[in-house]
């Protein structure tokens, strides 16, 4: 009976306008969140939602600087300055071998072997992207575990092996190939077996454990403390313009195309953030549209509401029809927004499948929509209750 009495002044066009505005805003927000989660693996293979990245830097070596004896090392002050930057999480130092290394690699049952001068570098374990339980070195049982850049294996298989008639080697086979090193320095000439334990996409070098490098430099090198020629930096905001400006200002070079790929990820984050902000603004505007509609409706029914309150109806009973109306509209908007998001996802996912992306779970995006609608609904119900209570006090 209350609903029949109070619905006479309800404007269907106003409610439809609010519903459409809220539907558009909420759909934009949850679709942007879902698209970001789905497309992120294209720019990053790591699982974190907000990706960390690594940059390998060197000093920019110019011809004039080299002729004048300019240093390429990073001093302790240089490293401390990098660590103090807001985009830097931590800095790792490359330690280079200070002794002569000869490597011998066996090539199958033919008895052929490949011998070459070699080099080693080491960095802290936190920066290595290959997990291996035997990534340690014990001088009592000497065997050198080695991580090699995956580019080196491709260079051997499709460059050197193809022209020399040698067999191509898979990553699994590399761990079983006989590998030995001969270290020379400080009057010593010692052989030691080695083993390739993995291949790195992050590091374009030959990596050994820090424990081995410090032990070997002390045993075969001159023992002098040297500053690193290369640094690896873990950054917390890949593609940040401040990083590029800092590198250019200090004449540092970034290895590979990491800055370009990081920029793509950074711009993706910025664009998605703008889209989400637009969706939030539309949702807020729709909230105020509904509040204006409710206030106009209550204003038109002021006399009837006051009469109902004087007849003994409580403010909760009088406001209940309006609250149920808001709950039904907002619930319908949430369901429709989720349906539209899923339909849009069905449209763009085949394009992402071409990049080998399986897609992320839709539950977080739905949860975001649920939270937004819960906040909007709570604001609507609170405003209705206060307006009716104000009429009752009159």
Residue-range domain boundaries for the chain: 2-47+263-393, 53-257
For the ranges 275-279, 335-339, 387-391, the maximum mean pLDDT occurs at 335-339
Whether residue 333 has pLDDT greater than 80? yes
Chain segment 273-311, per-residue pLDDT in tens: 777 777 677 666 766 766 666 666 666 666 665 555 555
Task: Return d(Cα 315, Cα 5) in angstroms, integer.
Answer: 16
* Apex 226 CA angle, 220 and 231, nearest 5: 115
Chain segment 174-185, per-residue pLDDT in tens: 777 778 899 998
Mean pLDDT of 322-334: 83
Beta-bridge mates of residue 183: 101, 190
* 389 within 8 A of 314, measured Cβ to Cβ: no
pLDDT value of position 369: 86
Task: Return d(Cα 337, Cα 76) in angstroms, integer.
Answer: 55
Mean pLDDT of 324-350: 88
pLDDT value of position 301: 61
Quick one: how many helices (H) and strands (E) in the chain?
13, 12
* 167 within 8 A of 161, measured Cβ to Cβ: yes
Other beta carbons within 10 angstroms of residue 360's beta carbon come to 18
Judged on CB neighbours under 10 Å (0-12, 13-18, 19+), 80 is exposed
pTM of the model: 0.55
147 vs 24, which has greater pLDDT? 147
Q: What is the DSSP letter of 334?
A: H
Chain segment 82-93, per-residue pLDDT in tens: 999 988 889 999
């Amino acid at each position: 009976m209350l609903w029949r009495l109070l619905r006479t002044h309800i404007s269907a066009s106003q409610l439809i306008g609010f519903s459409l505005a809220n539907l558009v805003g909420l759909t934009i927000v949850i679709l942007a969140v879902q698209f970001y989660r789905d497309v992120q693996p294209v720019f990053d293979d790591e699982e974190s939602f907000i990706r960390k990245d690594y940059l390998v830097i060197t000093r920019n070596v110019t011809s004039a600087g080299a002729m004048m004896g300019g240093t390429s090392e990073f001093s302790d002050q240089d490293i401390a300055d990098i660590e103090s930057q807001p985009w830097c999480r931590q800095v790792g130092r490359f330690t280079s071998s200070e002794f002569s290394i000869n490597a011998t690699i066996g090539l199958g049952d033919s008895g052929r072997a490949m011998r070459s001068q070699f080099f080693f570098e080491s960095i802290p374990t936190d920066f290595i992207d290959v997990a291996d339980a035997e990534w340690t070195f014990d001088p009592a049982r000497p065997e050198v575990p080695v991580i090699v850049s995956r580019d080196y294996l491709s260079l051997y298989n499709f460059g050197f092996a193809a022209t020399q008639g040698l067999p191509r080697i898979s990553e699994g086979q590399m761990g079983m190939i006989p590998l030995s090193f001969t270290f020379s320095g400080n009057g010593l000439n010692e052989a030691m077996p080695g083993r390739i334990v993995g291949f790195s996409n992050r590091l374009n070098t030959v990596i050994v454990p820090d424990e081995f490098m410090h032990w070997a430099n002390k045993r075969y090198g001159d023992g002098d403390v040297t500053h690193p020629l290369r640094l690896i930096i873990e950054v917390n905001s890949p593609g940040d313009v401040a990083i590029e400006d800092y590198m250019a200002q200090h004449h540092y070079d970034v290895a590979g195309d990491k800055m370009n790929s990081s920029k793509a990820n950074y711009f993706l984050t910025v664009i998605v953030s703008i889209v989400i902000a637009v969706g939030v603004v539309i949702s807020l505007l729709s909230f105020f549209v509904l509040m204006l509609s409710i206030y106009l409706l209550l204003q038109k029914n002021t006399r009837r509401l006051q009469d109902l309150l004087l007849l003994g109806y409580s403010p909760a009973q009088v406001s209940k029809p309006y609250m149920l109306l808001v709950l039904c509209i907002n619930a319908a908007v949430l369901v429709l927004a989720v349906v539209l998001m899923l339909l849009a996802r069905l449209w763009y996912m085949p394009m992402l499948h071409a990049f080998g992306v399986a897609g992320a779970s839709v539950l977080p995006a739905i949860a975001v929509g649920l939270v937004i609608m819960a906040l909007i609904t709570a604001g609507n119900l609170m405003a209705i209750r206060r307006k009716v209570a104000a009429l009752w006090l009159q």
